[in-house]
Amino acid sequence: MEKQLNLPIPTVKRFPSYLRILHQYHEKGEEFISATVLADELGLKPIQVRKDISYTGIEGKPKVGFEIKELVKVLNHVLGWDNTNEAIIIGAGNLGSALACYNGFKAYGLSMVGLFDSDEAKIGKQVGALKVMPSSEIANFIHEKRIVIAVITVPAKVAQKVADDIISQGIKAIWNFAPIDLKVPSSVALQRTDLATALAVLSVKMQNKLDSSEEDLG
Amino acid sequence: MEKQLNLPIPTVKRFPSYLRILHQYHEKGEEFISATVLADELGLKPIQVRKDISYTGIEGKPKVGFEIKELVKVLNHVLGWDNTNEAIIIGAGNLGSALACYNGFKAYGLSMVGLFDSDEAKIGKQVGALKVMPSSEIANFIHEKRIVIAVITVPAKVAQKVADDIISQGIKAIWNFAPIDLKVPSSVALQRTDLATALAVLSVKMQNKLDSSEEDLG
């Protein structure tokens, strides 16, 4: 078994940005990059970058820094982006359909292979490359395809029931877009992305900016 | 001018959840709700709920709590969800198109009225209710429709340039889905939603859970 890395979440959150810069420098023909350059590009402190990268086990070379190809490979591996995980989406409403159509996940090792809904009017509808399947088929689908990742885009009031059901079928990671805090066993990974809350924060920030600029004027 | 509320962001983030519970209790026929009930529903402490709501100026009544209708109205107002803001989406790739098709934003007072791209192959394409327009028309569109909110879904390497351009045309709030930290003047509200980072965190959390369950077994 591989050594467990126990990566701090803030470090994980910076890894996609590191990868982006590394790809840019690779495209420019660079072979090495220093922690200082990476830090400058992202507005971080070099010591932070060095500490983050130390978790991967990669060591920089004196004067030149980190080998870009090697670092890209290891970061992709740590993030699980170097192999493709198949995932299902539960809830074929607007958001679920949008995510089913979004091809961008493939770059991050995620492939949406099933889209489910309990609304009979939606069953059989073509959404991007997927056809909406009835919720009654979720359990079989998970077992047959050995799916471990599910994206939940159902309304808040049914999200916990959906989560309980799919966890009992073997789902190990849930990406929850429903506006509710799901309760899951400690063995299940959970990540929440709440567009409504992001929009609420933006809206209030904008109002505060507008208010203070009016104060400035008068 | 209205009194500026200066809401703390963590408070703002809880408001959408309060609204969801309030709607549930309203549907059940309830007229009042206590801070304790709201807190229980969301796994918060009653003192936190009371403090959050105190920012709105609404006061609870002894024994019965807050009047649901009044609290819904004020929270929607504070969040800017009681009037519709028109917004544009810049970048008609997979994610931009997905967001253009997503009708769920209307409930939060946001209506997507324009979708732009610099790629000629995409111009004129119908995406949901919108037709992709050329980037060269953004400035006119912002002025004519008095747009202040923009959603950025372009690749990271052009996102800062796009942001600079639209801010110079009068955009006051940017919802950034590009995987990069944009630099904007202090007068502009900025909110970032990064799906790649959310997915990275989920992926690593899952790996850590799987690793530790293997350790348990062995």
Q: How many helices (H) and strands (E) does chain B have?
A: 8, 9
CB-CB neighbors (< 8 A) of A200 in chain B:
12-13, 15-16, 79, 81, 108
Span B64-93, average pLDDT: 92
Query: Token pair for residue A85?
Result: 């995980």
Is the pLDDT assigned to residue A173 strictly greater than 90?
Answer: yes
Lowest-confidence segment of A161-170, B114-123, B131-140, B149-158 by average pLDDT: B149-158
Is the pLDDT assigned to residue B24 strictly greater than 60?
Answer: yes
Q: Give the pLDDT confidence score for residue B118 in this predicted structure.
A: 96
Span A121-137, average pLDDT: 95
Which helix (H) or strand (E) segment holds residue B90: the answer is strand B85-90
User: Smallest Cβ distance to B198: which of A15, A193, A206?
Assistant: A193
Contact B191 A181 (CB under 8 A): no
DSSP letters along B45-112, please?
Answer: -HHHHHHHHHTTT--PBTTTBEEHHHHHHHHHHHTTTTSPEEEEEE--SHHHHHHHH-GGGGGGTEEE
Q: Give the pLDDT confidence score for residue A218 in this predicted structure.
A: 45
DSSP letters along A27-67, please?
Answer: HTT--EE-HHHHHHHHT--HHHHHHHHHTTT--PBTTTBEE
CB-CB neighbors (< 8 A) of B93 in chain A:
104
Q: Give the pLDDT confidence score for residue B218 in this predicted structure.
A: 44
Q: Give the pLDDT confidence score for residue B1 in this predicted structure.
A: 37
Question: Phi and psi of B110, rounded to 5°?
Answer: -125, 130
Q: Give the pLDDT confidence score for residue B82 in this predicted structure.
A: 85
Measured CA to CA, the distance from residue B182 to residue B186 in angstroms comes to 12
Measured CA to CA, the distance from residue B168 to residue B148 in angstroms comes to 11
**How close does chain A come to B99, measured CA to CA in Å?**
7
Residue B17, classified by CB atoms within 10 Å of its CB into exposed (0-12), middle (13-18) or buried (19+), is buried
Span B179-196, average pLDDT: 90
Residue-wise pLDDT tens digits, A64-108: 999 999 999 999 988 888 888 899 999 998 788 888 887 778 878
Is the pLDDT assigned to residue B91 strictly greater than 60?
Answer: yes
User: Smallest Cβ distance to A173: which of B24, B173, B206?
Assistant: B206
Residue-wise pLDDT tens digits, B39-56: 998 889 999 999 999 999
**How close does chain B come to A211, measured CA to CA in Å?**
7
Q: What is the mean pLDDT of chain A?
A: 89
pTM, entire model: 0.75
Span B16-41, average pLDDT: 93
Contact (Cβ atoms closer than 8 angstroms) between residue A203 and residue B22: no
Provide the residue count of chain A: 218
Q: What is the mean pLDDT of chain B?
A: 89
User: Smallest Cβ distance to B4: which of A4, A108, A208?
Assistant: A208
**How close does chain B come to A94, measured CA to CA in Å?**
5
Q: Looking at this protein, which amino acid is placed at residue A45? A: K
